[in-house]
Amino acid sequence: MSTPIRRQAPPTLARVLSTCTSSATRLPRPCVVAKWLHSRNLTTATPRAQETVPLRKHLKDEAKRKKAEAKINNAVAPKKHQLDPRLARWELTVGIEIHAELNTTSKLFSAAPTEGQEGMANSRVAVFDAALPGAQPHFQAATLLPAVRAAIALGCEVQRKSGWDRKHYFHWDQPNGYQITQYYHPFARNGSLALTAADGVPDEELQGAESVMVGIKQIQMEQDTAKTTNHGNSTYHVDLNRAGLPLIEVITLPQIHSPQTAAAVVRKVQAALRSVDACVTGMELGGLRADVNVSVRERGTTGTGTSYSGVSGLGQRTEIKNLSSFKAIEDAIVAERDRQISVLEAGGVIEGETRGWTLGATETTRLRRKEGEVDYRYMPDPDLPPLIIGTDLVEHLRLTLPELPAETIQRVHSAYGLSLKDAKTIVELDDGDRLEFMEHTVQLVQQSLPDETTDKPKIGKLAANWILHELGGLLTTSETSWEDLTLTPQDLADILLNLLQKQITARVGKQLLNTLHETPTTSEHRPSVEQLIEQGNLRLRPLSEQGYEELARAIMEGHPEMVEAVRVKGQRGKVMWFVGQMVRRGEEGTVEPERARVVVERLLAG
């Protein structure tokens, strides 16, 4: 019924439609293309020869129509992230408990190593970790150092005297039958976090303010549990390698009122702990996990009248355990918030319980009744003396503390002339590796330039743009990660140096970047930037002013409609179209976009 479409000569719409009908006198069977057009109120009549429109243009027009429809629909229909209308009546409150593994070489109460013999179960276990009879805990003082750094980074007050408590529960992942923690007398108290829109706090929670403050009630040290794996229906393997690893638990006040802010709090805590080398890994590798306490109350009321650490008027809370990603935190809070609202609106009562969450689920699941202080039978540990922390140690750690993320962002913004958004991006990407790459590159460029031409902000901004956009795009298109990058800071410095000295164009620089990325640094025949420029004859040979004008005029004469768009319709953005044409038509290494733009603007204004 239809003829095939040839690649070299795409058929017009008229030709496609004509092949769908027969030359016989009977009524033709409806054509698929005709029905498709008719459903969108487009004509199926065969256009006159001079009005023939390629099929590609029809598809383009259809895409424009869909885009216009989407704008109309978005204006009428509720947006994806629009607030649930029920939240005008109900207020969400969240508190978070963040568990992070400390970066130490030994466990908390034994000299057993925290790393080594990967894959060997129960290979890093001391007698106390295994709860052998008569074994006593011995606090490893070195574990205190990353814990105190974490407390300082989160703005907490380090307590001179703290103590150890036993939290009793019976499960095979806790061979002693209790966990040693600091429930009553933690080593750090009264911290705070300031979060802004840049951190992910929604506008409805900011309410016009620049930031919101979330208090940190306390930070306590405690043991991790063993790892349990399920094998079949009734077989469980217990690996004690993890038992006794040193953790800190960061407990926030219930001052969070949106799922996005909850995730932002955990992200900010993780960034702070990483910056001071306090924790081993982040959430993505299991070194940090979170429990969230969720409650709702009707606005304007005191909820159930519950209070927590000075925050009053709360609803009945439930706890969702062991959330291991930022998305899980947001999704679990949304699901539990909606469940509690539905229960309360139906006249039900929220029970204090521990609940679980599975990625992809639509509702949290009940695990058990929520335990309290009585259930855990907290008591001071009789085998451990109080923990005394000297003020001299705290002051020393405070003075030698590495730069915090907020300080780094501000420094990069000021020193290199980057916007706050770009500074935040380059600081946070790849655990700071991109920032280190950028600063090394800037240093190398500065060392190669005469003192009078050294402009740190200009070089920094140029380096950041290439690292964020050009290198970032290269990694995306080649489907590689930053760890697989084959370029060195010296490679990028050489490219930027040639650009600044107008030895190559930006287009050539991108070609060099791509070539070097495809050549491993371990290759014996890997060329340098200078060798690639010389071998490819890529050195800039700029046109004369007359040459720029001749090239620009030739393009303008061939595209009078584009000239009219600029001169008559005032579409100044079309100027860069001419610049792009000049770069493409000119011989490689002869057209500088900046000079081309100046010439085009002058000719179009004439």
Worst-scoring range by mean pLDDT, 38-42, 94-98, 193-197? 38-42
pLDDT at 84: 75
Banded model confidence at residue 27, pLDDT cuts 50, 70, 90: very low
State how far the Cα of 579 lies from the Cα of 582, in Å rounded to an integer: 5
pLDDT at 544: 84
pLDDT at 72: 57
State how far the Cα of 563 lies from the Cα of 553, in Å rounded to an integer: 10
Tell me the HSE value of 286 on the side-chain side, using a 13 A CA sphere. 3
Instruction: Mention every residue, 6+ apart, whose C-beta is less than 8 A from residue 419.
Output: 413
pLDDT at 52: 44
State how far the Cα of 495 lies from the Cα of 530, in Å rounded to an integer: 9
Q: How many CB atoms lie within 10 A of CB 207?
A: 7
pLDDT at 569: 84
pLDDT at 220: 97
Cβ-contact 286, 99 below 8 angstroms: no
State how far the Cα of 101 lies from the Cα of 280, in Å rounded to an integer: 6
Name the one residue in this structure whose structure tokens are 């001391």. 126
Query: 315-369: per-residue pLDDT in tens?
Result: 999 999 989 999 999 999 999 999 999 999 999 999 999 999 988 888 999 988 8
Query: 406-441: per-residue pLDDT in tens?
Result: 899 999 999 998 988 899 899 988 878 899 999 999
Mean pLDDT, the chain, as a whole number? 84
pLDDT at 17: 33
pLDDT at 51: 43
Instruction: Mention every residue, 6+ apart, whose C-beta is less than 8 A from residue 602.
Output: none
Query: 91-125: per-residue pLDDT in tens?
Result: 999 999 999 999 999 999 999 999 876 678 899 99
pLDDT at 39: 52
pLDDT at 65: 63
Worst-scoring range by mean pLDDT, 67-76, 173-182, 185-194, 347-356? 67-76
**Helix locations, 130-237, DSSP H:** 144-153, 203-206
Cβ-contact 556, 591 below 8 angstroms: no
Between residues 111 and 605, which one has the greater pLDDT? 111
pLDDT at 484: 84
Query: 206-263: per-residue pLDDT in tens?
Result: 989 999 999 999 999 999 999 888 888 888 899 999 999 999 999 999 999 999 999 9
Radius of gyration of the chain (CA): 33
pLDDT at 266: 95
- At residue 584, does pLDDT exceed 90? no
- At residue 531, does pLDDT exceed 60? yes
Cα angle 295-260-268, degrees, rounded to a multiple of 5: 110
pLDDT at 22: 38
Tell me the HSE value of 471 on the side-chain side, using a 13 A CA sphere. 27
Query: 257-288: per-residue pLDDT in tens?
Result: 999 999 999 999 999 999 999 998 777 667 89
State the average pLDDT over residues 290-306.
93
**Helix locations, 429-478, DSSP H:** 433-448, 456-465, 472-477
Banded model confidence at residue 588, pLDDT cuts 50, 70, 90: confident
Query: 364-407: per-residue pLDDT in tens?
Result: 999 888 776 677 899 999 999 999 999 999 999 999 999 998 89
pLDDT at 44: 42
Query: 469-505: per-residue pLDDT in tens?
Result: 999 888 888 888 888 888 999 999 999 999 998 888 8
Tokens of 220: 């306590």
Between residues 12 and 256, which one has the greater pLDDT? 256
37-41: long-range contacts, CB 8 A cutoff, minimum separation 24: 40/65
Cβ-contact 498, 491 below 8 angstroms: no
- At residue 147, does pLDDT exceed 80? yes
State the average pLDDT over residues 29-57.
45
pLDDT at 247: 95
